[in-house]
Structure 1
Amino acid sequence: MNILKQNQTQETQQETICKIHNLEFIAVDLDLSDKSQIQFFCGKCLVEKINNNKMTTIQQSKERIIQIKIQQKEIKTKETQARLNYYKNILDQMMDFKQSIIDSLDKMQKQIQKYICSIQKEKQELQDYDQQSNYFDDLKQLSELYSQEQQKSSKLDEDTTFINEMQRQFELLFNCSEYFSTIDTFKNTKEIINDVMENNIIELIPLQTIKYDSKTPSLSRICNIHKKEIIMINMESQNKKIEDRFVCVDCISENSQVKYSTIENVNKQWKEYNEESDKIIKEYKKESKVKKQDLMNQLAQMRKNYNKKLNEISDKVISEQFLSIDKQKQPNQIKKISIQTLDDEQLLKDLKQLIEKEKEKVQLNQTVTNYKNKDSIFSKEIEFHLESLKQYDLQDIQQSLDILKGISVEKNLILQLSEIIQQMQKSGQKDENHKNQNNFINEFLEFIDQAKKISIILQNIEVKSNDDKINKSEQQPKSKQQSLLNILKEYQNIFDNNNQQLQKYCNIQQMENDLIKLTETIRNLEIDKTNEINLLQKSFDQQLIQLNDKLELKQKEYKNVKEQYDQATQENINLKNQYEQDKRLLITKSEDEQKKLKQDFNQKLNQKDSQIQEALRKFDQINKDNLEQEKIKKMELEKIQQYNKSLTFSNTNKHNYCSVSEGGKLVAEVGNDHWCFCVCEQAIPKTGKIQYAFQIICEQQLFVGIGFRDIMKQKNFYDCYNVGTYLIQENGYTYSHHNKDIHGKELSFKFKNNDIIIIEVSIEDKYIKWTRQNNPQLSFVQLGIDTSQELYPCVGLYKQAKIKILDCSLV
């Protein structure tokens, strides 16, 4: 019998437990309009029945919380790293911009200082110049002044040009590559922030559907014909409207020949399609971002190269202009002095030049030639810089176009070189005269670079040789010099012609290379297009075969599910009958348990009443004790208040440089160079705890605390912080009469003007405590103070410091 009862109880327990979720039934479906059996539900079944992602069980909510916390942590980590990166980029760019401004200002400062030095030197020469009074020379200068219509200073004109150039350079401070790179960095940072904000989104995970659920998945749509749930979709038929592709059970039975896809399969395909689309979009965004970043870097480099070259040209022009100032000094000096002031060597040299002037005008022509040669060197250098700037622009533009087309710089250079080599080989096969064309071009390019350098060097040598010839009074004949100039001019013309022909040849080569590149890219694109079409066709055929196989499997599963459903409805009827019997037993059992609980509750209630009475008695006793303690505290508070009201600084127990005023409440140091101490009149009581407060009126250097009046008196109240006192200083250092471990160390808090320091002392407990009124958490305590003698409140002052006694009740 016992075995039978156990088996029956086990069967009843199994019938009241959900077979899907292994939980007890808590609800039943009373609507039997479209069902043949009664349905029972557990907690999870009810949540799934509601079919709302905002409704969930406690366990599922815990799992969701864990997943969302993981997502939040990942998003926060990525966001923090992104913020750190773009702020570092902004800082680096700003530092570069700052350094560029500093370099430009330093350069301008050096140029201005150079001008100032030359002007000061000229001023010194004017002061040292010995003005000789020669009436005829003065009369000649006067006549020259009257003969000129308007007096103009060439130096002032040069200063105007120089100031204009300085103004232009100053205006270019905010037109440099670093400035625009900084602006671009700010704009790029905004885009990064928007990108992070768009991507940092928490994905709310929907409830996981149970794979072994007996119910067939359906859409929240109703068939327009049969008014039943949509359980499958027609994915195979061609030329059919989207609305007609949704089918219910009756539609499937009417068109059994058509292959349908279940909701699960379509959902799976939809997820795979979305994942693939997201992957393609992310890859495209990544490639686009890299391309844009490369283009930004290329634009920044172009701007930097352009500004660098312009600055070099500007510096060259300014330096050449500055040198012209020194060149004009010599002719100006010749106008101002006479031959009487010249030394012997200079006199002979100038007379020789004057004699030859009437014959061949050697000196005048040679000087003009010298200036022209120097100007030609200068113009050649400027032309060289401008030509290189042009080449930089062409190269940068080509690289920018390559970045937009997605062609790397290295690949482009390799293609160009390979095409040039192939064309040279072809031309070498057609014409025997071009066999050594490769070596010739390389040697010719090196020859051009060397020729540019040699031409500049030769011109510099020519200028220097001319200066030497002038200094040596034309030791070499004029014919050799003229022939050398003619040779150099012929060499320069040959060089210019060769350079122009080479540039034309390079441009033709570049156009041919671009045409070959375009044809190759078109051919590659057509090949890629055909390959992609073939791959898509193959993948589509494979997916079609897979869908057909899955559809057959689902039809078999549907038959099995229908049989299981019929069996489950019969089991539910049996469970309902058993549930009614168990319900009656539970009701009778619960009534008996309630009676027993009521008796136990009455017993416990009586016990609680007695405990409450005992607690009330103890509470009354505690109130009496509290009242007595409050009376004691009031007495101590009145004692402290009386002590504070009567506390004053002593007019006798103080240093001579301490001045007491305001009825003994204020003390000030008037000596300005001594550590002066002052003691209060009232001693600290032997019993109880007292408090008093000092306000810092003028904080220079000072101490506050307590001390032994007799010991301080022996030192004449001077420098008493080493012995006989317990003090803290405004800089946080502490001083102790007996404890050397804390004496002279920075252990306390710091204070300043208008701070209020509250001092608490207990002779019985042997301690002193300092607290700052505007920050009570800042405090310092010295324990175990010496109480063998009477202690007094005291202060130490230095350099006109001031301290005032306050009433603690008002603080």
Structure 2
Amino acid sequence: MDFKQSINDSLEKMCKQIQQYVFPIQKEKQELQEFESQLSYFEDITQLSKLYSQEQQQSPKLIQDNHFINEIQIQFELLFISSEYFQTVDTFKNTKEIIKDIIDNNVIELVPSNITKNDSKTPSLSRICSYHKKEIIMIDIDSQKQKIEDRFACVDCIYENPQIQYQTIENIDKQWKEYNTDIEKIITEYNKESKGKKSELLNQLGQMRRNYNKKLNEISENLIDEQFLSINKTKQTNQIQNISIKTLDDEQLLKDLRQLIKKEKVTQSQIITNLKNKDQIFKKDLQYQLESLHQYNQQDIQQSLEILKEVSIEKDLIMQLTDKCQDIQQCAQEDENYINQINFIKEIQDLIDLAKKHQCQQNLFDQTILIYQQHFQKIEYIKQNILIKTQDQAVKSEQLKSQYSKLSNILNEYANTYDNNTIQMKKYCMIKQLESDIVKLRETNSNLEVESKDIKLQIEDNLISSMQKQFKYKLNETNIKKKEQKYKKMKEQLKNAVKDNIKMKKQYEQDKTKMMEKFEDECKENKVKFELIKDLTQKNSELQEALMKLDQINQVKSEQEKYSKMEIEKIQQFKKSLSFSNNYKSANCQVSEDAKIVAEVVNDGYWYYCLCEQAIPKTGKIQFAFQIISGQGFMVGIGFREIMQRNNYKSCYYTGFGTYLILNDGCIFSHHNEDLHHKKQSFAFTTNDVIIVEVCIEHKYIKWSKSINPQLMFVLDIDTSQELYPCLGVFNQSKIKLLHNIP
């Protein structure tokens, strides 16, 4: 009905416009008929000659008629893009959707005809057990069986599996109905919420279309009215050019004679100025209406987008204000000061409208800032590309280079103009950047203050712990030196014992010779013989004891020499065979040159690790050396292979990730000591430096030192519960070499 009424109103309006346009034409026709009797034959010929002598001149009347017909045609076209037309179409579409929804959701529950209620009979399914060929009366839904067919149970299945808790068909049916009911509730609530949003969005779009078309119709009507008004204003004289004052009426004749007498030549330009001023006022009014339409359109679009989003706090408060305003308006109707209440409600409504406009403009302002920044970056990017292309030696065409140069000049001029036009925008972005920088600086300052306090405490603690470690290390070295000195003393004692043994042997031979001589001289005397036998027996026992001691010393010496040789050979064999592993490493580490060099090949911002193939021996002091070849990030030390393998040899510098490492900036990483983790207590090193690593499993320590300055060293306690392997970490395409000989 609204669409029909809109068409009737529009047709009636166009009919009135046509009548208004035709009326002056009829009037002019009557005037022409009156003037025909007044003009002479000569004047007619002169007028016709002047009219037809103008080359390629069109009749202004015909041009106006053409404009008028175009305006009427546009009004006819607007009939089928009006809000009433689209509202009618939307009504048809909504009706079809409602019918479709009723068809889809009109579900009728069908009860199977073969099911008859019998309370005395155990409920069962219509299927048969595949093993016992009996009815299914229970179902297992609690066990971990993979096949769904194995969950169905007959009487025999229940008897054979007493440990399984089966549930009856009636109970399962009840659970199934409850489950389907819950799903239907969730789906219904979701569909209700979705339909509510879609309905709200459709209403919003319909309101947008009505507001937009209404505003466009107002602008179009104003423009058409102004067009008709300008046509009427130009009809100050007859459409037929007057070539004689005889055709003028009395009023026009007197006016023109006054102008001729005064010789006023400015009157015509003054008329044009007035027309231009009025036209300028009309253009400003039209511009204001178009800008208002643009704002309303943006506000409607923003409201439509907010329907799809979650309700924000600001939007929720605006909705609360709107609801409260409606409540006040209902209560105010019964109040005596109804007029005052109405004024107050209008003020609140103005506040709500301004809040909606502000919310819309705020989002547009943020989008404008983003577009400005993107546009500025794009200009700079294209400038750089043009500069690169002009300096490119591969471009040999002078014409192409000339075009690039002209393009650069035009772009520079545009960039300067753009900068001048967006000075305020640029200042705003700079202020926002400065504000964010100030906030970051404040946060950084506060963090630095906290860190400085922590660093002071850490330095004190680290100094104490470092002194304790150095003391432990020196104590260990002292114990080792004492053991070495003890070994040397035992060696000297062994040499002295051997010398004494040789002397005792010689002395024994001499004593034996003397005794034999004495025995030969005094063999006849029994007393002398008895004493001689006694002395000889005593000397012989002493000799046997000395020989036994000598054998023990020789045995200990041979075992120690054998053990020392084995340890030395084991350490030398470890040093010779030490090489990087192709298996126990990250896939992003490349091993080359007989497994002596490792390089990181991905450069994706992560640390990757590689272990040596040989485990560190559990006895003796083991040394090995790494040389830094190239790169920016290096870690050297030892690690547990099993733990690092579980972490895929990636980022293994955290506590508990199985490594004892030092970083090239002096930071240390401990597998078991979180207090020392990532603290700068070691020395720094860089490219071409050689780092010597010393490990002693027996005394549970690792020591790092520089070959060019051995006094620069750092000692760290280690966990020896598992086998340890030499390892290193690389970052950002770094490369490290394992040296065969320690410098």
- Report the TM-score when normalising by structure 2: 0.40
| Structure number, greater radius of gyration | 2
